[in-house]
Amino acid sequence: MSHELLEQAWGAVRGAQRRGAQGARAAAHRVRESTLEWRDGALDRLQESTRMGLEVALFVDGRYSTHATSDLRPEALEGFLDECVAMTRVLAEDAHRALPDPARYQGRFQGDLGLMDEAGVAGSTPAERRRLVQALEAAVRAGPGADQLASVTTACSDTAGERALVCSNGMEGSWRGSSFYLWAECAVKDAGGRKPEGWWYSARRQRGALQAPEEIGREALRRALAQVGAKPEPSGEHPCVVEAAVAGRLFADLLSPLSGWAIQQQRSFLADKLDQAVAAACLTLADDPLLPAGLASQAYDGEGMSAVRRPIFEQGVLRTHFLDTYSARKLGREPTTGGASNLVFQGGERDLAGLLQAMGTGLLVTGFSGGNSNAATGDFSVGVKGMWVEGGRPVRPVAEMNLSGNHLALWKRLAELGNDPNPSSSLRIPSLRFDPVQFSGT
């Protein structure tokens, strides 16, 4: 199928050139996805879909546009390209729009990144999906404290897809990959009609690497029960540990201002911080698009530029911005890549229990809710829940509190990273221990 997709992409590029486009990029894709959701012993939702589509980026007389279609019939594509090129010609000129320098296509990784699990895809039958969601629910209902359950929802999803990308100035590539996902969520009864929720999940490229349904179900129930009787602690500055499963929510607000769009639009508090220390010296991480079986691994990015591992933070010093060709030209800089792939952190020596012992007394953050972060200033405020910790051990549940401040101050208070990176995310962040930061509660 990749050969067919390459032909479709090349056909679109050549068709655009025949109509007067000086440059073009086209991507053709095919994706099959199946999702089964199970709720309280019965089927809740079943979704099966196969999608095919084509996206084109056009460079016509100094003008630029992007378009997409799911109608891949030859006669429909002819009309589609006619309209796309004609519409591009009436747009305003933008001298900064261009395809990447062909040199950026060179040196592409040619090995196997382990992104496709053929056997796993073949084994993901309707009967197997049903077995998995039932096993997830059974695990929740078999755990200690299951008599307090109010509801249980489980889900199983598998995806297989392929994509071809070509550029008129010499780039051609194709990609095939799969992903598998198991998830369980439950609500338990609490005083005053409250129903605290707990969840857990596992996501992998290889089906055999998924966490066992029994482990996922037990963890979802444990997390729900841990929030029974939760209430806020007094406001103040408290040390905290943010567990790996949710730490990505906090770090994402530090990542967003690194985009070329935010920098070019003067909406980034990190625009002028390159090669400066903006976090504690314990923060070192890299963007690694070539990580074997990584959930965001790729040999080239969305523009076709060859993917390379690059440092983002080295001992707290910011080393890169994510600049696509357009934002780099606008800023008068060299492009890097349009966005992050797999983020790999240099972890510490302690697991979550060890981080809690090192903290002693403070807050273990196990969930975030709502909130906002200003990419231009770095100011943020976000709701949190978790456990109050004394003597390195969780002693009571916490909810309805806010963590607030400024990211430039927050990340300087990072004291330690754990050794427990989250394997179910492309943001493979471990648990984080912070020196006292501002919480608001009672």
Convert the pLDDT of each residue in 206-234 to its tens digit: 999 999 999 999 999 999 999 999 999 99
Is there a contact between 51 and 70 (Cβ–Cβ < 8 Å)?
A: yes
- Contacts of 67-72 with CB under 8 Å at 24 or more apart are 72/8, 72/28
Give percent above pLDDT 90 in the chain.
98
User: 391 is written with which tokens?
Assistant: 């003597």
Phi, psi of 332 (to 5 degrees): 70, 35
Residue-averaged pLDDT of the chain:
97
Give CA–CA dist 240/398, Å, rounded. Answer: 12
Does position 118 have pLDDT exceeding 60, yes or no?
yes
* Distance (Å, whole) CA 283 – CA 278: 10
Domains of the chain, start order: 2-32+47-105 (3.30.2290.10), 118-161+175-225 (3.30.2290.10), 236-440 (no CATH)
pLDDT at 282 over 70: yes
pTM: 0.94
Phi/psi for 222 (5° steps) reads -60, -45
Q: Has residue 328 got a pLDDT over 80?
A: yes
Q: Kindly tell me if the per-residue pLDDT of 1 is higher than 80.
A: no
Residues 8-18: tens digit of each pLDDT: 999 999 999 99
Torsion over CA: 286, 292, 296, 301 (sign): positive
pLDDT in tens, 66-111: 999 999 999 999 999 999 999 999 999 999 999 999 999 999 999 9
Distance CA 431, CA 246 (A): 8
The answer to whether residue 280 scores a pLDDT higher than 60 is: yes
Q: DSSP letter for 300, please.
A: B
Token pair 């990176």 is found at 421
Q: Residue 2: which pLDDT band, with cuts at 50, 70 and 90?
A: confident
